[in-house]
Amino acid sequence: MDTVEWSIERIFRGGGREELNDRVAVESPLEIVVNGVPLVALMRLPGQDRELAVGFCLTEKVISSVDDIRLLKHCGDDEGLSGPGPAAGGEAPEGAGSRVELEVERPGDTGRFAATYLVRTGCGGADLGALQQDVKGAVASRQRFPLETLHGLGEKLARGQEVFRATGGTHGAAVFTAQGEEVAVREDVGRHNALDKAVGACALRRIPLQDKLLFISGRVSYEMALKAVRVGLPCLASLAAPTDLGLRLAREAGLTVVGFADGRRCNVYTHGWRLEG
């Protein structure tokens, strides 16, 4: 269940009032456990929980590859899934517990999450240590993207956001090919979660990201740019604005950043050589 009904009073300018039922997006915690140790609790829109857990572990460098996963299990399942095969993206039945457990090889630094175990919906749980991370040239892809393709991606993202259409309460993230073909469209009450779900969906289907474009609805902040860089995405475009720290990281890493890409125009902030036309 991703939305609930809520009784509201709507007040109009000029004094009119009416009582009606509205739909709001569900927000609830998901605990991610790695090698038996609780890692983080994310406030998220329920659904695609395995994708979210895998995407989070990839973009936060808990794992370097989906191949590092030995076991992936959504709490409530009767059996674990040995490795992230095609069925691993399925969801637990309604009523299952809100926990995803992973057994992984060679886990990265997980101790940094101890102080921010609960990551709020509007907070990416910023890794301050990453501010010192050397990302120079981290994005090596030479993939180029037609501007005409880019101009149509906002509409495609919107079509995939069913909960947003019902509530107006979610962010969206989508992965596209250079030709504008939809690879994965995901939404969540948190913009970081939406990105992680899209990345996790691709990882579980073993779809490479080095030649893909990521399109998001929210701002291109430092942590959003860093997540894209960490999984090798060459281009990050958004309906919204970037921040200066996000742009500085993108410029250093080799990530193309495009803002205000609403189909009528767009602002290219870094590495515009990847855009053709």
- 100: amino acid identity, one letter: V
pLDDT for position 122 = 59
Q: How far is CA 35 from CA 29, 41, 272, in A?
A: 19, 15, 41
What confidence score (pLDDT) does residue 77 get?
Answer: 44
Count helices and strands (H / E) in the chain: 7, 16
Residue 177, both tokens: 């090919």
The pLDDT tens digits of the residues spanning 231-260 come to 999 999 999 999 999 999 999 999 999 999
pTM: 0.88
Every domain of the chain and the residues it spans: 28-127, 145-276
Cβ neighbors of 155 (< 8 A, separation 6 or more) are 263
Q: Is 123 a catalytic residue?
A: yes
Choice among 57, 75, 123, 202 that is catalytic: 123
What is the reported pLDDT for 198? 98
Which whole number is the average pLDDT over 37-47?
92
pLDDT of res. 128: 52
pLDDT, tens digit, 9 for 90 and up, residues 171-186: 999 999 999 999 999 9
Cα 65 to Cα 9, 127, 200, 210, 213: the distances in Å are 49, 20, 11, 13, 19
**Reduced DSSP (H G I as helix, E B as strand, rest coil) percent helix, strand, coil of the chain, to 5:** 30, 30, 40
The model's pLDDT over 189-233, given as tens digits with 9 standing for 90+, comes to 999 999 999 999 999 999 999 999 999 999 999 999 999 999 999
**CATH superfamily, domain at 145-276:** Cytidine Deaminase, domain 2 (3.40.140.10)
User: Residue 88: pLDDT band by 50, 70, 90 thresholds?
Assistant: very low
**pLDDT for 195:** 98
pLDDT for the residue 78: 38
> Region 119-147: what's the mean pLDDT?
75
